[in-house]
Amino acid sequence: MAAVSLVQGASRGIGLQFCRTLLARGPDSVVIATCRSPNSATDLQKLSQQYPSQLRIHQLDITSEADIEKTSRIITGETDRLDLLINSAGMLHPSGRGETSLKDVSAEGLSVTLMTNALGPTLMTKYFSPLLAKGLGVFGLQAAEPKARHSAVLVNMSAKVGSITDNGLGGWYSYRMSKAALNMATKNLSIELGRGRNKVICVALHPGTVDTDLSRPYHKGVPNLFTVEHSVNCLMDVINGLTLKDSGKYLTYDRTELPF
Ligand SMILES: NC(=O)c1ccc[n+]([C@@H]2O[C@H](COP(=O)([O-])OP(=O)(O)OC[C@H]3O[C@@H](n4cnc5c(N)ncnc54)[C@H](OP(=O)(O)O)[C@@H]3O)[C@@H](O)[C@H]2O)c1
């Protein structure tokens, strides 16, 4: 069945690679890609020339509820369902580097990072959940029992450093706090969107340490730096193996369950 997916934060990095992979794997699939500056998203524009009838690009700044609301209305006019929503946009910190100690923490850094990484994805789900409820259950494994079937999958791109239990090093206040908040939102969403007839599987996924602009300042000394292709292939395997029982989980690229 042809899938309809929405990738939020698709101009670069992991989000762009999700668009590539979803289009390459599904000859009839539709990918709706959002980014804050479509005109400067040159790689995404090139991809749309390769898949003119399957890839649609819309402007959306994840820090603006007005943008999310406006774009949700436009997309709702173009599709009657979503089978997959991936919230990929994210930032380490406005400076590009995580705080190493308390003296680096600022209200501006905390609020922009939280808005981008946690509040925006939650608002995305608010506006797009009606389309997710109408999904046809193309992604994930469907249960035999009708009550355990799902309509769609929501992926919030989290990070292992958002685990409170796993935090042994400290630092990176804004990023760690934002991903911990995103994990809480994912758990909450899994409860609310798991009720009723049209259930949505909601998961927080850690992609590994991936060779992108976000992680670039920290590449030195990473023993296992993933390419975007490898990370997204692993994440697609995780997504395709999900059942409703996995909803609310915090999983890595190899399906290991992380502690909150
Ligand atoms: N790379 C890693 O090692 C790693 C590890 C763990 C988790 N993650 C998570 O994976 C996700 C993707 O990260 P990445 O590595 O692909 O990062 P990236 O290459 O730096 O890409 C970040 C993306 O987020 C978008 N973005 C940032 N602020 C935005 C805003 N206000 N509105 C809309 N889009 C915005 C960027 O768009 P512009 O082009 O407009 O700036 C870009 O498309 C993030 O949530 C990140 O936290 C990454």
Question: Alpha-carbon distance 80 to 102, whole Å?
Answer: 47
Does residue 36's CB lie within 6 angstroms of at least one atom of ligand 1?
A: yes
- Give 4-252's CATH code, choosing from 3.40.50.150, 3.40.50.300, 3.40.50.720, 3.40.47.10: 3.40.50.720
Spans in the chain with pLDDT lower than 70: none
| Structure tokens that stand for 44 in this block | 């995404």
Does residue 12's CB lie within 6 angstroms of at least one atom of ligand 1?
A: yes
84 CA to middle of ligand 1, Å?
18
pLDDT digits (tens, 9 = 90+) for 186-234: 999 999 999 999 999 999 999 999 999 999 999 988 989 999 999 999 9
**46: Cβ–Cβ under 8 A, 6 or more apart, which residues?**
none
Instruction: Report pLDDT for 21.
Output: 98
Domain range list for the chain: 4-252
In ligand 1, the atom with minimum distance to the C-alpha of 179 is 47
Does residue 216's CB lie within 6 angstroms of at least one atom of ligand 1?
A: no
89 CA to middle of ligand 1, Å?
4
Does residue 205's CB lie within 6 angstroms of at least one atom of ligand 1?
A: no
Which residue owns the Cα nearest ligand 1 atom 35?
89
201 by DSSP, 3-state: which? strand
Which residue owns the Cα nearest ligand 1 atom 5?
209
Instruction: Report pLDDT for 120.
Output: 98
Instruction: Report pLDDT for 195.
Output: 95
| Structure tokens that stand for 46 in this block | 């090139």
b/e 57-95 (16+ beta carbons within 10 angstroms → b) = bbebbbbebebbeebbeebeeeeebbbbbbbbbbbbbee
